[in-house]
Structure formats: C-alpha cells, structure tokens
Amino acid sequence: MFTIGAASRLSGVHVETIRYYEREGLIPAPQRSAAGHRYFDDEAVATLKFIAHCRAARFSIRDIRSLLALRSQTDISCADGRRIGLSHVQALRDAIDSLTRLEEGLTQALKNCDPTRSDCAMIRELERDKVGPFRSGGPVSPF
C-alpha cells in the first residue's frame, strides 16, 4: 500500500491530479486509514500510470474513461479501442491544421510589423472583430 505521495512519485501524477481523478471516478476511492489518509494499491498505481500515458497522448477525460472501461474487461475489444484511437487521431489532425493556420496568420502579421513604426500590425490584427488569420473558426484544440 502506498500513501498518496508515494503513489504520485511512482505514477508521475501530481497529488492534486490524483485527487481530481478520484473525484471524477477514473480511479476507485482508495482505502483510508483511521486518520483519513489515502492508501493506494499496486493496481491503483498502474491505473494512474495508464491515465498519465493517456493524458500525455492528449486523450480527453471522456475517452480515458472509455479506455479504462475497456482495460478492465478480461476480453478487451480491439475494435472499440481502435474506434476511440481513430477518432482521437482525427482530433489531433484537426488541432494540427488549426495550429498551422494560426502559425501562418501570425507569421504574416509579423512580416507586416515594422519596428520603426508606432503602430503594430500584429496587435491591430488581434484587435479585428472579423475572422482573420488568427481565427481558426473554432477552438484551437479539442483537449
């Protein structure tokens, strides 16, 4: 059994994040001592590592919940995992496309910046109300 601090060190997940995952139901409520201290077993630490790997891959909490459900099955369905993975790859591609458009817009605005002028082209572009090179038409990232 591990204290929350030890579970944090072993999993690489910050203590406050472990508490958040517990509140969100991603990890089961750990055993508690008479003083109320949380104690995590090896499986809980393994689950925290799994979640950390999912977060590093930018999976959403919703998708992690689904992946955890699949992981807990004795006969894991690759088709279900693949569906989640393919959807995530598309979300990553969309985010990359959006970021590329933003980079191009910022690069163009910076080309119009003249350090000798008192008016900054980049700031003026950011002030625009209409859709411009910095506006992707949607969120930058679904994560």
Q: Are the CB atoms for 63 and 105 separated by under 8 Å? A: no
The answer on pLDDT for 136 being more than 70 is no
What average pLDDT does the segment 27-52 reach?
93
Percent of the chain past pLDDT 70, that is, above it, reads: 90
Q: What does pTM read for this prediction?
A: 0.75
Which is more confidently placed, 141 or 102? 102
DSSP classification of residue 75: S
pLDDT tens by residue, 52-78: 999 999 999 999 999 999 998 878 778
Of residues 2 and 121, the one with the higher pLDDT is 2
